[in-house]
Structure 1
Amino acid sequence: MRHRFLTADVFTDRIFGGNQLAVLPDGRSLTTVQMQSTAREFNFSETVFVLPPESSRHTRRIRIFTPNAELPFAGHPTIGTAHVLAAIGEIALEGETTHIVLEEGVGPVEVSVRARDGRPVSARLRAPRPPEFGPPTPARTDLAAMLSLDEADVLDAPNGPQAVSCGLPFLFVPLRDRGAVGRAHLRLDVWERVLARSWSPHLYLFAFDPEHREHHLRARMFGPAVGVAEDPATGSAGTALAGYLGVRDTRRDGTLRWVVEQGFEMGRPSLLEVEAEKTSGAITETRVGGSSVLVSDGLIEIP
């Protein structure tokens, strides 16, 4: 049977940048096995299948698959699906900002879609959970070996490695500079031994050394646990990164903002707009957003 699909590039304002996403706007007739096979066929970081919501208060239910597994939450699929559904008229735009709720495995996710001249241009999601900080991380020597770097390339406290989750756990590994981020090469044998069965098997490395002056960080993400060798833009990591950065920021109140460069080493430059809301020193919520562009609209045969 043939099914409509659309692809989009997410966290970019131009085609062939950002993170690729496939969206099937009507996945009602598909089984879980068919969804996983379809995601493997597209072989993008994620593929989304849209379903009717379970609650009348929500907009849609979505299921998110990497080539190897289903995810309870992911940022670029959430942002990109909201953009796609608005672009094809499945979501009615209400002026400059339209608020929707997408049901995901982790729970309801609030998304705001921004429009210009009646067309979506960007979206922002609110993390479904506050930052959760994980157990102690592996030793810097092990992390450096895993990334094919020198131990001196991996920063220590107070800006040392830490595991954080806002629905999907990541191990954040701050590096000395952008050069170290670019040199990093994941050794799967060391990852398998040190991190594969840990609370946070997904690696997010970054440096406070962006390429462009108006940005704040340069980052890369490795996700072999879900079949993603490297991800050009990782929204779920962005919400958790806001937690990592927010607890280290001395400001006690207000909205903290960072712009993260990711995917540059892959030739798919992406920009993630990351935010943390703080009240009396506590992080009350984290958000991530960015632009998206439609790339293709077609049919796929799914037996």
Structure 2
Amino acid sequence: MTSLPRIRPFMQVDVFSARPFHGNPVAVVLDGTGVSEERMQALARWTNLSETTFVLPPTNDEADYSLRIFTSQAELPFAGHPTLGTARAWLEAGGTPRRAGRIVQECAAGLVTVRHQDEDLAFAAPPRIRHGALDDAYLGRIMTAFGITRGQVLAHQWVDNGPGWAVVQLATAREVLDLEPELSLIPDAMVGAIGAHPAGGRYRYEMRTFAPGAGVLEDPACGSMSAGIAQWLTADGAAPAAYRVSQGSRVGRDASTAVVAEADGTVWVGGDTTVLIRGTITL
């Protein structure tokens, strides 16, 4: 049942950067009880951020809370930076996990574990619902939109853990940064590119993600794509068990994502989370 508008706790969290205003912000409504789906979507459209989230009571006894995640155009079953940003907001608002050091988020993609120690947060990558090489036709459309040749593509893969991600791997970070995609050629795509930085630096990879299908032309930082790529590359032995990804410089950000793959196959994706706006919203 939809409730009448009322004042609700609200935060905005900067995710994946230690520098304020240089990560990917997420708007978090800490009490979404009684808010209709139409209102949720309207607020997400109004905030004009990559995502806006709504915290609800869990329906699963193992979960600490339930979460709904909206872009400006659609609801997502899972997304990475909203998962970390919401966990930070929930903790700051006084949330207490059922298990010390572990937050369990319920969302449309299932249960997602977020581990926290002091200020560090990282989520366990959910299973991919689609993996394997892209078909030739879709890869061709991506290459045309990106303005690249088949010879520049080292590998390609579905890395979809809910949003619909696909990725192409290029040889270098510079090639990724130089992309000038024509997204009108792939208006429904959820796609990214990744390329290696020179050895010995802080970052292993540079990543860019484009989500015209969700109303986000270029995402400043994308945890869900980082998670899917890490599951792919570490399982194949093509990436080390721990590395960092740089993202966002082409849109004026300075995002850093930490990836750790454990021996049992669990991939953890983490980064800085900072609450920059605290207040209320009438919804």
* TM-score normalized with structure 1 length: 0.84
Give the superposition deviation at 1:55. 2.1
**What is the aligned partner in structure 2 of residue 137 from structure 1?**
135
Aligned: 1:108 with 2:111: yes
Q: After superposition, what is the alpha-carbon deviation per residue over 1:182-207, rounded to whole angstroms, capped at 9, x for unaligned?
A: 22122133214xxx3xxxx3111111
* Distance in 1 between residues matched to 2:238 and 2:146, nearest whole Å: 30
* Distance in 2 between residues matched to 1:144 and 1:65, nearest whole Å: 28
**What is the aligned partner in structure 1 of residue 181 from structure 2?**
186
Secondary structure of the residue aligned to 1:245 is helix
Q: Contact (CA 8 Å) 1:210, 1:218: kept in 2 or not?
A: no
Secondary structure of the residue aligned to 1:161 is strand
- Which of 273, 284, 295 is 2:258 aligned to? 273
RMSD: 2.4
- Which of 225, 249, 260 is 2:237 aligned to? 249
Q: Contact (CA 8 Å) 2:167, 2:193: kept in 1 or not?
A: yes
Q: After superposition, what is the alpha-carbon deviation per residue over 1:216-250, rounded to whole angstroms, capped at 9, x for unaligned?
A: 00111000111111111111111101122113316
**What is the aligned partner in structure 1 of residue 102 from structure 2?**
99
**Aligned residues between the structures:** 277
Judged with a 3 Å threshold, the aligned counterparts in structure 2 of structure 1 residues 67 and 130 are, in CA distance, closer, same or farther, namely closer
Q: Contact (CA 8 Å) 2:76, 2:162: kept in 1 or not?
A: no
**What is the aligned partner in structure 2 of residue 298 from structure 1?**
279
Give the superposition deviation at 1:61. 0.3
- Which of 112, 121, 124 is 1:123 aligned to? 121
Q: Give matches, 1:57-76, under 5 Å.
A: 57-76=62-81
Q: Contact (CA 8 Å) 1:82, 1:113: kept in 2 or not?
A: no
Judged with a 3 Å threshold, the aligned counterparts in structure 2 of structure 1 residues 147 and 24 are, in CA distance, closer, same or farther, namely same
- Which of 28, 35, 42 is 2:33 aligned to? 28
**What is the aligned partner in structure 2 of residue 37 from structure 1?**
42
- Which of 190, 199, 217 is 1:202 aligned to? 190
Q: Contact (CA 8 Å) 1:86, 1:93: kept in 2 or not?
A: no
**What is the aligned partner in structure 2 of residue 230 from structure 1?**
218
Judged with a 3 Å threshold, the aligned counterparts in structure 2 of structure 1 residues 15 and 149 are, in CA distance, closer, same or farther, namely same
* TM-score normalized with structure 2 length: 0.89
Give the superposition deviation at 1:298. 2.2
For structure 1, which segment, 172-181 or 13-22, has the greater mean C-alpha deviation from structure 2 after superposition? 172-181
**What is the aligned partner in structure 1 of residue 166 from structure 2?**
171
Q: Which amino acid is 1:297 matched to?
A: R
Secondary structure of the residue aligned to 1:144 is helix
